[in-house]
């Protein structure tokens, strides 16, 4: 019996052309505004010591309690496939001493992340993010800059349905009082055992509970905005004013909290309605002034975001946007016979080296099959070389749109193809 054909693991999928080109274009559009703004590229391993996430993301978060791919290596190390990018990037910045150089340090990255989630549209076990982190600056201008750069990326992709929602979670000086007030309120509610436990460990996370009955019970809960210190409020007001100045409309959501423990002050989420209510976030981020100390570093304020590339592509498809990305070639070579194939192989190689997008029919399929391949390739020009052409030292250059055909000297194919393409642009 034949072995069954392998399938991608549950919760994962492949990008094949032309969607493969589209996801690359999404990532490019997300990174372009960052590179333009002086951010440097950073790359870290796709797995880390498990304790980095346990401490850096938070012991009580869904990510750490339910979603991590954790294993012990053959050598006995406890490692985890990265579920998010901020803790690893901060670890790398500290390890490489970036915080001892000129501040702020502005970084961007792009890669795969892994979470053991219940798979559904827009929620996968392997997904990709583009991220940005700025370390060593408390200035609210940085928070605003990051939000503007993300919105510029979405706009460059043609998306019109992305909204940004903002909130402030306060800082060390204001959060403890709020936490206590919220806890007092939550303890009076009739909550299930897990949620009651969460009230004691991390009451803010209860605000993020998506169940309608819990949301209803939270209607009268105290809000962080009532507890912000003067400096927290000034910080938040500056962020909001800078966004307005930049022409970025935003919504205030005093109940916005996010799934990671480390946020302080500015918190934001980019949402889109086209993917499904539970997967509406196409990106999110916030300030994390205490994270460095949590993972054993010095005090080092930071702020950053991660944008979900997969969900952003789904949002584009929901808006009916033509997917960006260049596939195909401009010139397609059609050899008829072995000698012609050998000669055109050299011509196509030279064209490619000159920067012309070119491909060639292989397998000796004859004129009809090869011309079909030429049409599929998206090429504007076909170069057809038959036995008789070869004997006369010419090739046929055919315009695949108009059908017009012209015999040209074989030695001139490269220059003539280039001229022809230039004239068509």
Which positions touch ligand ATP (CB under 6 A)?
A: 84, 115, 117, 122-124, 127, 129, 258-259, 279, 281-284, 306, 308, 310-311
Cβ closest to ligand ATP, residue 12 vs residue 231: 12
**Token duo for residue 418:** 């280039």
Between 235 and 258, CB nearer to ligand ATP: 258
Q: How far is the CB of 163 from ligand ATP (least distance, A)?
A: 13
Residue 288 or 332 having the CB closest to ligand ATP: 288
| Cα end-to-end span (Å), the chain | 55
- Identify what 284 binds: ligand ATP, Mg ion, none; CB under 5 to 8 Å per kind: ligand ATP
Nearer to Mg ion by C-beta: 33 or 285? 285
Q: C-beta of 119: minimal distance to ligand ATP in Å?
A: 8
Nearer to Mg ion among residue 63 and residue 347 (C-beta)? 63
Q: List the single partner that 33 binds among Mg ion, ligand ATP, none, CB under 5 to 8 Å by kind.
A: none
In whole angstroms, what is the distance from residue 41 CA to residue 341 CA? 43
Residue 260 or 361: the one with the smaller Cβ distance to ligand ATP is: 260
Q: Are 149 and 33 in contact (CB under 8 A)?
A: yes
Residue 127, binding choice from Mg ion, ligand ATP, none, Cβ under 5 to 8 Å by partner class: ligand ATP
Q: Which does 289 bind (CB under 5 to 8 A by kind): ligand ATP, Mg ion, none?
A: none
Smallest distance from Mg ion to CB 281, Å:
8
Q: Please say whether the beta carbons of 37 and 149 come within 8 A.
A: yes
In the list Mg ion, ligand ATP, none, the entry touching 85 (Cβ below 5 to 8 angstroms by class) is: none
Q: Pick between residue 168 and residue 280 the one whose CB is nearest to Mg ion.
A: 280
Which residues contribute to the site for Mg ion (CB under 5 A)? Answer: 259
Please check whether residue 71 is in contact with residue 92, taking contact to mean a CB–CB distance below 8 angstroms: no
CB of 302 to ligand ATP, least distance (A): 15
Residue 123 site contact among Mg ion, ligand ATP, none (CB < 5 to 8 Å, cut-off depends on kind)? ligand ATP
Contact 287, 237 (CB under 8 A): no
Q: How far is the CB of 128 from ligand ATP (least distance, A)?
A: 8
Which position's Cβ is nearest ligand ATP? 308
CA distances from 166 to 144, 149, 252, 289 (A): 11, 15, 5, 17
Of 183, 211, 214, 212, the closest CA to residue 199 belongs to 183
Instruction: Report the nearest approach of ligand ATP to the CB of residue 270 (Å).
Output: 7
Tell me the longest C-alpha to C-alpha distance in the chain. Answer: 94
Vertex 255, ends 207 and 52: CA angle to 5°?
60
283 binds, among Mg ion, ligand ATP, none (CB under 5 to 8 A by kind): ligand ATP
Q: Which is nearer to Mg ion, 84 or 389 (CB)?
A: 84
Smallest distance, Mg ion to C-beta of residue 259, A? 5
- CB-nearer residue toward ligand ATP: 123 or 240: 123
Residue showing the smallest CB distance to Mg ion in the complex? 259
Closest distance between ligand ATP and the C-beta of residue 309, in Å?
Answer: 8
Nearest approach, Cβ of residue 249 and Mg ion (Å): 26
Of ligand ATP, Mg ion, none, which one sits near residue 258, judging by CB under 5 to 8 A according to partner kind?
A: ligand ATP
């Amino acid at each position: 019996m034949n072995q069954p054909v392998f399938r991608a693991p549950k919760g994962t999928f492949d990008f094949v052309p032309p969607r493969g080109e589209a996801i690359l274009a999404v990532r490019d559009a997300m990174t372009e505004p960052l590179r333009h703004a002086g951010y440097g590229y950073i790359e870290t391993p796709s797995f880390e010591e498990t304790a980095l996430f346990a401490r850096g993301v938070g012991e009580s978060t869904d990510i750490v309690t339910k979603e991590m791919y954790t294993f012990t290596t053959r050598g006995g190390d406890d490692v985890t496939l990265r579920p998010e990018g901020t803790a690893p990037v901060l670890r790398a910045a500290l390890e490489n001493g970036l915080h001892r150089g000129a501040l702020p340090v502005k970084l961007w990255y792009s890669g795969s992340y892994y979470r053991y989630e219940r798979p559904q549209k827009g929620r996968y076990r392997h997904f990709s993010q583009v991220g940005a982190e700025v370390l060593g600056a408390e200035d609210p201008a940085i928070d605003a800059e990051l939000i503007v750069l993300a919105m510029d990326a979405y706009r460059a992709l043609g998306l019109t349905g992305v909204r940004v929602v903002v909130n402030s979670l306060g800082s060390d000086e204001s959060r403890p009082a709020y936490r206590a007030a919220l806890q007092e309120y939550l303890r009076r509610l009739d909550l299930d055992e897990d949620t009651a436990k969460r009230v004691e460990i991390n009451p803010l996370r209860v605000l993020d509970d998506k169940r309608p009955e819990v949301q209803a019970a939270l209607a009268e809960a105290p809000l962080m905005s009532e507890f912000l210190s003067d400096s927290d409020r000034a910080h938040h007001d500056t962020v909001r004013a800078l966004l307005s100045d930049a022409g970025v409309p935003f919504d205030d959501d005093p109940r916005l909290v996010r799934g990671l423990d480390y946020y302080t002050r500015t918190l934001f989420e980019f949402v889109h309605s086209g993917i499904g209510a539970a997967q509406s976030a196409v990106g999110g981020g916030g300030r994390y002034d205490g994270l460095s100390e949590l993972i054993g570093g010095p005090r080092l304020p930071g702020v950053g975001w991660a944008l979900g590339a997969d969900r952003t592509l789904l949002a584009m498809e929901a808006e009916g946007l033509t997917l960006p990305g260049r596939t195909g070639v401009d010139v397609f070579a059609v050899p008829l016979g072995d000698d012609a194939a050998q000669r055109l192989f050299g011509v196509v190689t030279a064209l490619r080296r000159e920067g012309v997008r070119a491909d060639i029919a292989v397998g000796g399929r004859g004129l009809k099959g090869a011309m079909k391949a030429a049409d599929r390739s998206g090429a504007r020009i076909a170069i057809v070389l038959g036995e008789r052409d070869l004997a006369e030292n010419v090739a046929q250059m055919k315009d695949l749109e108009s059908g017009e055909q012209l015999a040209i000297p074989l030695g001139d194919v490269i220059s003539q193809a280039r001229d022809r393409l230039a004239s068509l642009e």
